[in-house]
Amino acid sequence: MKNLLYIGNKLSNSGKTETTIETLSKNLNLEGYTVFAYSNQNNKLLRLIDMLLAILKYATKVDYVLIDTYSTSNFYYGYLCSQLCRILNLKYIPILHGGNLPNRLKTNTKLCKSIFRYAHINVAPSLYIKSEFETHGYSNLVHIPNSINIEKYSVKKRKYESVKLLWVRSFSDIYNPILAVEILKSLLDEGIQASLCMVGPDNDGSLLKTEKYAKKLNVPVNFTGKLSKLEWIELSKDCNVFINTTNFDNMPVSVIEAMALGLPVISTNVGGMPFLIDHNQDGILVNPNSQKEFVSAIKNFQLDPIKTDQLAVKARKKVESYDWEIVKNLWISVLE
C-alpha cells in the first residue's frame, strides 16, 4: 500500500468541526494506507509553515500528497503547498472542497492553472465542481463524493404536527446562520408551533452575532456549540426538518448525513446543492436568503406528511451510494 501525506485543516481538537482530512485519513488508514496528516496548528501562519515543513520532511517517503483545497483564504494554503510539491517533483492531488472555487477559476486564473493543471489528478467531491472545472478546460479530474459510514445512521419515522428545525454547520457568514433564526421567527409569527436547534462551533464570529439576533427577535434557539457526530445524531432524533441556509456550497457532509437519517431537507439552491438534491424528489431547493420560501416548504411538509416521508425515504436511498464501502473503491483506483 502507498504512503500518503495529507495537507488540510486538522482542527477538531481546537474546537472546530471535524473535516475531511480527519475522516478520510482514518478510512484510508483502515484500508492499509499510511497517512501523515498536517496541520493541527491553530494559528494560520504557523499552520502554513507546518504544512510546508511536512512536505519537505516527507518528500522522499510518500507516494502522493493530498491537499484539501478551499475557496476562501485557505485557498492560498493549497496554492503554496502545491507549488512546493512541483518544485520537489511530488505527485499531488487537490481535493476540491470550496463551493466558491468556480469563482476562483475566473478571478485567479493564473494561480488556479499553476495548481490544477499540474496536479496528478484533481478530486471533485461534487459533480458541480467537476462540471465547472471542465467548463474552464480542465480534464485531469475525477469525481469522488464525500463519504459516510451508512450503518451509523438509523432512520426514524417522524411526525410533523409541530416543527422541530435542525441546522448543523460551523457558524460562518457564508453559511448564513441568521436566516435560520428568521425562519423560526416567521413560523412563530404565523402561530405555528416551532423550535430551532443550531449545532456547530464558531468560525468567524457568526455564532455570537446569531445569538444576539435571536435574542433581539425574542425567539428561543438552542445553540449547542460543537457536538460530536454521535451527540448530534442522537439530538436529531427529536427533530423533523433539516435546513441548510448557506449562500455558497459544494457537497456538505452535514446535508448528506441529514438525508441518511431520514430527515426531510430544505436547502438553498446554490453551488453543488442541485447536484445533491433533486428538487421535489428527495428534498426541497429554495432561493438563497428566501425566508418565505423556506417557511412555505416547511408548511407543505406539515400539510402532506406522506409526501414528506417519501422525500426522506428517497433521500436515504440516494446517500446509501455514498457509503465508504462503495466510495473507497474510487479512492483505491486513484491511489493505486
> In the listed set 84, 109, 144, which residue is the last one of a domain according to the structure?
144
Q: What mean pLDDT comes out for the span 93-106? A: 91
Does residue 307 fall inside a structural domain? yes
> pLDDT at residue 19 above 90?
no
C-alpha cell at 160: 410533523
Number of domains, the chain: 2
Residue-wise pLDDT for 284-310, tens only, equals 999 999 999 999 999 999 999 999 999
Quick one: 173 and 266 in the same domain?
Answer: yes
Kindly state whether residue 326 falls inside one of the protein's structural domains: no
- Check whether residue 60 and residue 112 sit in a common domain: yes
Round to whole Å and give the CA distance between 324 and 129: 21
Same domain, 168 and 95: no
**Contact in structure between 246 and 206 (CB atoms under 8 Å):** no
Question: What percent of the chain clears pLDDT 90, i.e. is strictly above it?
Answer: 90
pLDDT tens, residue by residue, 181-202: 999 999 999 999 999 999 999 9
pLDDT in tens, 203-240: 999 999 999 999 999 999 999 999 998 999 999 999 99
Task: Record the cell numbers describing residue 246, joined without a space.
Answer: 448557506
Question: Per the domain annotation, does 262 fall within a domain?
Answer: yes
Q: Determine the pLDDT at residue 314.
A: 98
Asked if the structure places residue 332 within a domain, the reply is: no
Q: Phi and psi for 140 in degrees, rounded to 5? A: -85, 65
Q: Residues with Cβ < 8 Å from 259, sequence gap 6 or more?
A: 265, 282, 283, 312, 315, 316, 318, 319
Residues 232 and 119 in one domain: no
Q: How far is CA 193 from CA 144, 258, 292, 307, in A?
A: 41, 22, 17, 21
The residue out of 144, 176, 193 marking a domain boundary is: 144
| Residues 6 or more apart in contact with residue 124 via CB below 8 angstroms | 96, 130, 133, 141, 142, 143, 144
Q: Domain of 66?
A: 3-144
Q: Look up residue 67 and give its amino acid.
A: I
pLDDT band for 16, please (50, 70, 90 cuts). confident
Do 82 and 158 belong together in one domain? Answer: no
Do residues 175 and 247 both lie within one domain? yes
Rounded CA-CA distance 92/51 in Å is: 13
Question: CB burial class (10 A; 0-12, 13-18, 19+) of residue 29?
Answer: middle
Q: What is the pLDDT of residue 99?
A: 79
Residue 17 sits in the same domain as residue 93: yes
pLDDT band, very low/low/confident/very high, at 80 (cuts 50, 70, 90) = very high
Please enumerate in sequence order all residues whose Cβ is within 8 A of that of 181, keeping only pairs 6 or more positions apart, or say none: 196, 210, 213, 214, 217, 219, 221
At residue 61, does pLDDT exceed 90?
yes
Query: What's residue 100's pLDDT?
Result: 84
pTM of the model: 0.90
CATH number reported for the structural domain that contains residue 182 in this entry: 3.40.50.2000
Point out the domain boundary residue: 144, 161, 179. 144
Answer yes or no: are the C-beta atoms of 14 and 75 closer than 8 Å.
Answer: no
CB contact set of 109 (below 8 Å; sequence gap of 6+): none
Residue 54 lies in a domain: yes
Same domain, 132 and 184: no
Question: What per-residue confidence (pLDDT) applies to 156?
Answer: 86
Shared domain for 210 and 99, answered yes or no, is no
What confidence category does residue 15 fall into, taking pLDDT thresholds of 50, 70 and 90? confident
What pLDDT was estimated at residue 168?
A: 97
